[in-house]
Chains A and B, each alone.
Chain A
Amino acid sequence: MITSTGWIIITGILVAVSCALVGTFLVLRKMSLMGDAISHAVLPGIVIAFLLTAGRNTFPMLIGAGIFGLFTVWLTEELSKKGRIFHDASMGIVFTTLFAIGVILISLFAGNVDIDQECVLYGEIAYVPWDLWIWQGTNMGPRPVWILGMVLIINITFITSMYKELKTYSFSPQLATTLGLPVTLIHYGLMGTVSFTTIASFESVGAILVVALLIVPPATAYLLTDRLHRLLLLSAFFGITSAIGGYYLAWWINSSIAGAIAVLTGIQFALVFLLSPKYGLLGRKFRGQVRYKSAEDTILQKETTFM
């Protein structure tokens, strides 16, 4: 039998690996904060599904949240394309508005339903072992583990089957278009998996900390390798180490597990940032290679960013 400690750690690992895999492409596409936006904007979707089905049925919630996730991506792009608004500003407008609608919905119906705002924001991975899935009288183990396991399988299938498309698209959407690759499918496929991953991770680590797991492990791995497949594996590895380490850190200092996991991703990043042989600060300083991106570089990059 797996102990409750075991279930918590398994959940943490599933969340961390799912997030690290899709997060890698967000980081490479320079859309890191899209994960942040999606994780907040799905709130009204969850609440609406909750109210419609009058219960904590996971599938309607996943679907409701998935719809709002893609809606956020679409609306952000339409606003910045059609209106005179920069992409990041447009994202800020869309996700805060949707999140606020979710908050209002919760407070309006808080009497009837039990969605805990704290839980939405910070999650509570420690409750996972008691959230059991009873199927035809049999105890199948914790429900989040099944859902997260499914999401991880979806993510791995998506990335391995569309690997060359995802690679080309994240390298240059423009190039992917001229090569005749299905750019829209790739884009919304990626955003769809980000939405699902975020939502499934939500209950365990909450809307804010999921962003740490989406972005920090890939950013850490990015400092260590310059091959995409190694980047994906290393991101997953850093996700796993922070999930396991986070649990024991929380146990040691008697604090929130999700918080400890996120803190560990940060510590790992800081260490790698300093010590990475190739791209670490110390290594480069030693070789006299530290160079800061000039304003010109940044502007060029902005101008040539496509979509």
Chain B
Amino acid sequence: MDNVDQKQAALTGKGRPAVPASSHNPPIEVHDLTVAYDQKPVLWDIDFELPGGSLTAIVGPNGAGKSTLVKAIMGLIPSSSGYTLINGKPLDKQRKNVAYVPQRESVDWDFPISVMDVVLMGRYPHLRLFQRPSRHDREVTMNALREMGMDEYHKRQISQLSGGQQQRVFLARALAQDASIYIMDEPLAGVDAATEDVIFQKMKELQSQNKTVVVVHHDLQSVPDNFNWVMLLNLRMIACGPVSSTFTDENLQKTYGGRLNILSQMIEQSRKQRFVRESDA
């Protein structure tokens, strides 16, 4: 992975560029971002850049502000200070290029809508106000469903799906958008093992197409095998960089505090457990 090594050289531990990016704007850059609810900061002075083609896991303890961070990047919640640039431009000019997969519980699954219609929404950023989706949009939508193995369910109402299938539909919606940046909030929460595999595989595929993928993630064990970039977050940003140099015991200790002993043991064992999981399947 030449690409990653280059970026590794260009970025130091805290994610500040040693060499200012000149010709190429990073897909996502966040500067001095602070978010507060009722005067109480929940994210403090977050500053980072993510390189193009990176597959980043955002990890941290519960309440660390992981979801808040991606929502602030997506402009869904106001920030007290700081700003975000997408491909060097403000988000409003780049909405089309950023596909966001919200947490599964954030929508009303009883809404009277079919799987196809939800995925078709991914095409809306490509349409003007009042414009209806074309046949091409429908084809793209069906392809996205097929890629997630959900094409035969396209006529179903969305509440008639399992949790894993609902997550696949959300991912298909993001794929239909044909964006260059994918931001996913806990896409693996509560999904079945088969869906987990499909989603991990899809993330890697997107990365291999040089797209930038950012995932709020809760399972530390699966970080080293599935991501090449990691951000450790606990109200402040502890570290952000390549997994190989950033996902260290020391940084995890800083992020999780006293609970680390158990966690580091879990990570130690993760590779052994991987064999067990694979033989299960």
The 10 closest A-B pairs by CB, nearest first: A180-B95, A226-B157, A178-B100, A172-B107, A226-B112, A304-B106, A171-B111, A161-B130, A179-B124, A180-B125
Interface size on B, residues (CB 8 A): 33
Q: Which A residues are CB-close (under 8 A) to B63?
A: none
CB interface residues, B 115-129, toward A, < 8 Å: 117-118, 121-122, 124-125, 127, 129
User: Chain A: residues with CB nearer than 8 A to chain B?
Assistant: 28, 30, 84, 161-165, 167-168, 170-172, 174-175, 177-182, 222, 225-228, 230-231, 300-301, 304, 306
The answer on a CB contact under 8 Å between A304 and B92 is: no
The answer on a CB contact under 8 Å between B129 and A178 is: no
Q: Which B residues are CB-close (under 8 A) to A174?
A: 76, 102, 106-107
The answer on a CB contact under 8 Å between B76 and A177 is: yes
**Is B98 part of the contact surface with A, judged by Cβ < 8 Å?**
yes
The answer on a CB contact under 8 Å between A182 and B129 is: yes
The answer on a CB contact under 8 Å between B95 and A231 is: no
Q: Which A residues are CB-close (under 8 A) to B113?
A: 167, 171, 226-228
- Per a CB cutoff under 8 Å, which of A163, A180, A182, A300 touches B96? A180
Q: B130: nearest residue on chain A (CB-CB)?
A: A161
**Is B105 part of the contact surface with A, judged by Cβ < 8 Å?**
yes
Q: What's the Cα separation between A28 and B110 when bound, in Å? A: 10
The answer on a CB contact under 8 Å between B121 and A179 is: yes
User: Chain B: residues with CB nearer than 8 A to chain A?
Assistant: 38, 74-76, 92, 95-96, 98, 100, 102-103, 105-108, 111-114, 117-118, 121-122, 124-125, 127, 129-130, 132-133, 157, 159, 177
The minimal Cβ–Cβ distance linking A296 to chain B, given in whole angstroms, is: 11
Subset of 19 A-B contacts with CB under 8 Å: A84-B38, A161-B130, A162-B130, A164-B124, A165-B124, A172-B108, A174-B76, A174-B102, A175-B102, A175-B121, A177-B75, A178-B102, A179-B95, A180-B95, A180-B125, A225-B112, A226-B112, A226-B159, A300-B105
Q: A229: nearest residue on chain B (CB-CB)?
A: B112
Q: B102: nearest residue on chain A (CB-CB)?
A: A174
- Per a CB cutoff under 8 Å, which of B96, B117, B130 touches A167? B117
Q: Which B residues are CB-close (under 8 A) to A230?
A: 112
Q: A28: nearest residue on chain B (CB-CB)?
A: B111
Q: Which B residues are CB-close (under 8 A) to A304?
A: 103, 105-107
Q: B38: nearest residue on chain A (CB-CB)?
A: A84
Q: What's the Cα separation between A230 and B38 when bound, in Å? A: 43
Q: What's the Cα separation between A268 and B159 when bound, in Å? A: 25
Q: B159: nearest residue on chain A (CB-CB)?
A: A226
- Per a CB cutoff under 8 Å, which of A178, A231, A301 touches B112? A231
Q: A161: nearest residue on chain B (CB-CB)?
A: B130
Q: What's the Cα separation between A178 and B72 when bound, in Å? A: 11
Q: Which B residues are CB-close (under 8 A) to A225?
A: 112
The minimal Cβ–Cβ distance linking A20 to chain B, given in whole angstroms, is: 15
